A = this chain, B = another copy of it.
Amino acid sequence: MVENIDLLIVGAGPAGLMAAAWAAVYGIKTKVVDKRTTKIEKGHADGLQSRTIEILHSFGFGDGIYKEANRLQEVCFWNPDGNGVIRRTDRIADTIPKISRFQQSVIHQGRIEQYFLEFVQHPPEVCIDRGVEPAGLEIDKSLIANEDAYPITVTLKRGKEALVDGIGGAEDDSGEESVVGCKYMIGCDGAHSWVREKLGIMMEGAQTESVWGVMDILPITDFPDIRSRCTIHSASAGTIMVIPRERGLVRLYIQLAHLTPARGERFDKSNGSPETIFAAAKRIMAPYDISYNYCEWWTVYQVGQRVANAFAKYDRIFLAGDAVHTHSPKAGQGMNVSMHDSYNLVWKIASVIKRKARPLILSTYATERRAVALQLIEFDRRFSRMFSGRPAKDIADEAGISMEEFKRTFEKGNIFTSGISVKYGTNVLVDSMGKPEVAFRMPFGGLQLGMRFPSSQVACQADATPIQLGDALKSDGLWRLIVFAGEVTQPLAKERLDRLGDALLQPHSFLRRLQQEVTLEPVLVHASSRQSVELFDFPKAFYSKKDGQYDYYRVFADDATYHHGHGNAYSNYGVDKESGCAVLTRPDQYIGWMGEVDDVKGMERYLSAILR
């Protein structure tokens, strides 16, 4: 018998679980399969970008992870001095100040997965089945245009191992097969993706020669910066990156010059061992001493940079994460960009399944995310080359890397690696037909079309609570109309706002229907003093609720608070207090439209192209 489901997710790693989180939010019938019988308990990915922490926060479980993780503050650069002895030559902030309210952090991948598993455990629509892998894939092309159909048929095969973490059913070693019909499918099945192979999609790019070892240890050392992120370029023994982790652990990325293979060859992994890797670490860190009693995990890898030549087929089957991009792990990007892929994708799929959005939005996944993957690969090529290079002895040493140039590249890379700088180009979901220039360009934290809506503190009109506007933009599937109403005590601003307020109440208006169907939520930030106005002075759409009670947490003042200062939101965002502006954010917090406060036609034109 064929079981019909909305969405099949292959792979229960970070990308697959992020996909499952959206599926849980929207309540679409979803199955996640993973050939592993347990989640990863140690090693592998550990870096969380600022943007990723914002996303986890928007699902409601960012606090716990952020508290548990080690929040990186500082990067220390260690380079050889004139005598070839390593010295600290510089320190910079790890996360660029003001780029986000969260700093880049590190925590073991399994802990992050655990938070996702707890999040998706409750909605009955999402089922995670471990020890199961796909064994056959058929696509009925004649059904692709039919929204009611299940054009994808997948044969699933239960593996021979027992299920051990209590999720997904009882012990089963039958190797039995089952068949699911799916409306949509996502391959989050890693660098050796089975889904990608079945679709005939190819990875493009190459290996480099650079071979690295990784160790997660509890170190004992007189090296003074072991709790800071460090790059240590030794004169000739190679390079180390130090990543201080949670629970006192430290991850070392250690260059293994002796394992470097001939050009075009793969290195022989069996030549690596904790002993040989750590011996290389000791050589690089000399004259400082380092030892350990406990090593939690280690591995050896060869750097390579590859991107898939396509991210989707028929806009019914999609690939995300390592299945479409692989690169060096040192900048802590892999897990993040992978999660961002499925974070970008699955609200779109779910909105189409729920008949809220038009199917044409699905093609934006590949255009938006492949562009990011290509940027990532380009960044990683630059970063890895500088990292693996030997420091230049002097200006004449052309084969060496200038440590000044390395630091500049590193600092510049920090903007990219935060995940904040991603800007999606114009498409049906990112519409430049409004008036995107309503906000002045700010270096950090400003409003920009195609970028995520940044957080800034505002004061709740009803109760004076300091609120991070980012907290109002939850990942709950809602679109948001964020109105910067300006100085509402001024007649012009008041009239402008009232025109919008009237439109939101018009019986046949599209905006009103979206609001009543709980698809669009109006939010207001005014620039008058909080005490000079009352909540009930504002149009009803900004505080009315279906049940006759009022929503007191959608009208905010850009004003000082009693205990947490002034957020200066208008100034951070680059919004003029006189003219104000309106912003439409997608469910993933990216700004899809910007324009005048009372440009109701512009809002409706943008939204009606997407929503139905």
Contact = CB atoms under 8 A, between A and B. Distances in A.
A288 to B, nearest CB: 11
Given A63-B63, A91-B531, A463 B73 contact: yes
Give the copy number.
2
A93 B227 contact: no
A224 B535 contact: yes
A342 to B, nearest CB: 27
B563 A97 contact: yes
A561 B95 CA distance: 12
A563 B248 CA distance: 22
A97 B534 CA distance: 24
A67 B73 contact: no
Contacts of A63: 63, 67
A464 B70 CA distance: 12
Contacts of A220: 548-550
Given A74-B464, A97-B562, A244-B463, A552 B222 contact: no
B224 A534 contact: yes
Contact of A228 (B94, B226, B464): B464
A562 B71 CA distance: 12
Interface residues of A, number: 39
A218 interface: yes
B549 A463 contact: no
A222 B71 CA distance: 45
Contacts of A224: 534-536
A391 B293 CA distance: 73
Given A91-B531, A224-B535, A464 B73 contact: yes
Interface in A539-569: 548-550, 552, 561-563
A94 to B, nearest CB: 7
A536 B222 CA distance: 8
B94 A562 contact: yes
Nearest to A99: B563
B74 A549 contact: no
Contacts of A460: 227
A106 B74 CA distance: 38
12 contacts: A71-B465, A73-B464, A73-B465, A74-B463, A91-B531, A93-B563, A95-B562, A97-B562, A218-B549, A220-B548, A224-B536, A244-B463
In the complex, the 6 A-B pairs of residues with the closest C-beta atoms, listed nearest first: A227-B463, A73-B464, A93-B562, A227-B462, A74-B464, A224-B534
